[in-house]
Every structure is written in structure tokens, then in C-alpha cells.
Amino acid sequence: MRYFDPLTRSVEPVRSCLRVFFMKVFVLNCGSSSFKYQLLNMETEELLAIGLVERIGLDDSVLAYEATGKDKVKEVSNIADHEQAIKMVLDKLVDAEVGVISKLEEITAIGHRAVHGADKFTKSVLVDDAVIAAMEECIPLAPLHNPANITGMKAMMHVLPGVPNVAVFDTAFHQTMPASSFIYALPYELYEEHKVRRYGFHGTSHFYVSNRAAEILGVEKENFNCITCHMGNGSSFAAIKDGKCYDTTMGMTPLEGLVMGTRSGDVDGGVFKFLENNANMSIDDIDNMLNKKSGLLGISGISSDMRDIESAAAEGNERAQLAIDALMHRIIKYIGAFAALLGRVDAIIFTAGIGENAIELREEVMKRLSVFGIKADSEKNNCRGKEQIISADDSAMTVMVVPTNEEITIGRDTKEIVDAL
């Protein structure tokens, strides 16, 4: 076994690299004008520092930084690009007052969230020129996300040369879907020539919460059937059979499936031609509408935030209530369909912003799923953001909340790959 030595920037035999026991991984989730980051000690899985940088390339950029046991930092300045932003964050990590490491050489590896790997990547990989080229080929499938992910990788490789970078793909977990799940009923040549098919997203989250739920319930993940409900501004469900993804709600892009914050979810494809002919909308107009002006925002006319919509509904706003009802309808529809596909469901798992915090929504979902013998425990369900079984003891299916932790999954994959060098 050989290991990457963070101090010499070289691959050395394990016996000369006892320093690996202090492996620190910088996790980067890069968007087009912002990124989130964490520094993790992967030997203890301890969070050392966390933060985000927003409005990159715009006036009044914001850098937020918080290290364990240190004062929070928030700075407003003009940050020209991602590389400058990364350098500023790294400066904070070694700062005498708020830093958590003495020198940058302590960073052993960088783990990147990568949104779309199509069917090119079935697992996390060490980033090199070939990986970046393959991700660039996938840009048409994720034009908003992949360029930003690639920008982050290139910036880190330039700022910390010689440090291994690992790409962890949202789509990788879903590559176990059978062809009957991922194929679209379109001319087969479109799949062969243009890779038009279902890919799924939030894979890192679905992987983490399904494995963690199996641990909590004391079930071997290879024998675990569950439905994972990742519900945030973007939402997707996954049907997991014997620990592997069998089906998921998102499709070739993150647009398909559930009603989301600003995304429509499932829509009849015939609507697009109708709007072109009757509403004077171009395909770009329609695409922008489906992704940015639809979903909860489109129906309610108020907000994409579930908290705002629930407040408006409580005050008697009918469109806000309709948005909630439409979301609920889609939730029940997909859980029911996935339960039928799996045959046996050991657990239904709620996660992410809405899933972890929307107490009333979870309660209503359990009531509407009583046909499956599900019973809610209102006292247990009165929780936010913590691991909790929320179904009654005599419920036919276990329903639970498991907060997602995509960053720790990225850190674990990164450590595993770097350990194997």
C-alpha cells in the first residue's frame, strides 16, 4: 500500500507516511458565482472549518468562515474569480487567530462535488485531464453546474499544485438502475447517440442517508429496501433495493419529478409546443420558466421557500395552499409507486431542508400513507434536523428523519481514493 504524503507532495510507502493519520480533506461544492466548503479531519471525521463565498465576480462579494471553537468571520469585498476566493479561504485556514492548521501542506486532498457524470462515471475518481475532459463532454447535460464544478477543480489544482483532487458525482449512485428504469420511451437512437436517459441527482445524499438509516435500524445495507426523500429547494426521491438505487424521480436533468422550489417537476411535453404556438415563448423562454419560475413559486406566486408558503396558507391564501396540495399529491404518488416497485419497504427516510424540518408536512404524508399500514407518532415527529424514527411502534413501515451529510460522504470517498494511491 502506498500513500500520498501531504508534506512532500509525493506518493510514499505507508511505513514512511504515518502522517496520513492526520489526513485533512478540503471539501468544495462549487457553483457559478458561489461555493460552499468544509475542512474535515478524516481520521476522526471532525469538522474543522465551514463556510461559503457568495457573489463571486460581482460587487460586494461575501466570504463567511467559521472554525470550530473560533470566532465567526464575515467579510464583504470584491472577489474577481473562484481562484481568488479559494486563496482567501485558505488564508483564513492558516490565520493566526481563526485558523485551524499551521500550514497549507497539512491539506492532504480536495474532494469536489461533481453534479453530472452521465454514464461515464459509476464511482468517485481521482481528477486528471481525462476526467475534466469527460466532465466537459457532459456540460450539455448540466450547463449550469458542470462548468462551475470544473472551474473549482482547476482553481484548486492551480492554488495547491500536487495535492490530489477527487470528483464525487451526484449521478454515480444512480448508475445501478436497470435499463427499464432509466430508459425514456423515445427513439432508441437518441439514447445511443446523445445519451438521452434518466440519470438522477442528489446521489451523494441518497447514498449517505440510506446507509445511515440501515446502521440505525441494524440492517445490513445489502438487504435494505428503502425510499429516500431528499426534499429541499431541489427535491428527489430514490427507490433503493438491496442497498442500490433501483429508480429515482429526477431525470436527464434535475427538472423532472417532484414539485420543487422553482422547478416544475413532471410536465406533459406537449405543453412546450402549445406555449410556443400560443404564448409566443421560445424554447429558451420555456426552459427558463420551467427551471426558475415554476414549482412552488409558480403556483403560489409568493415564494419558493416552503416556510413562506406555509405561513401564507395559514393566513388563508388559496394559491399557497394549492402549492402545498400539489406538492403533497406528487409526494404520495411517488412513494406509492416506489413502494410497489420495491415490493418490501423497510424504511421511508426524510432528509434535506424541507424533509428534516417540515413537521406538519411529514405528519400529513404519514396519514395519507395509512393504506400501507403506516402510523405516525406525533410526539416523535415533533423534531427538526436530527436523527429520529417518527412512525409509531406498531407502524407497518418505519418512517424516519436522517439529516443528510453530503460533505462527509465526499470526504470519505476522497480519503479512500487517496489512501489507495
Indicate which residues carry an active-site annotation. 170
106 grid coordinates = 497539512
Q: Are 374 and 397 in contact (CB under 8 A)?
A: yes
From CA 298, how far away is CA 290, in angstroms rounded? 9
Beta pairing partners, 240:
226, 245
CA dihedral 320, 321, 324, 327 (to 10 degrees): -100
The distance of Cα 346 from the centroid of its chain, to the nearest Å, equals 23
For CA atoms 85, 86, 92, 94, give the dihedral sign.
negative
For CA atoms 183, 188, 191, 196, give the dihedral sign.
negative
Interior CA angle at 344 toward 340 and 345, to 5°?
90
134 grid coordinates = 469527460
From CA 345, how far away is CA 339, in angstroms rounded? 6
The distance of Cα 390 from the centroid of its chain, to the nearest Å, equals 23
Q: Which of 114, 175, 124, 200 is nearest to 150 (CA)?
A: 114
Strand 165-169 and strand 235-241: the pairing is unpaired
From CA 63, how far away is CA 35, in angstroms rounded? 10
From CA 174, how far away is CA 118, in angstroms rounded? 10
**What's the Rg (C-alpha) of the chain?**
22
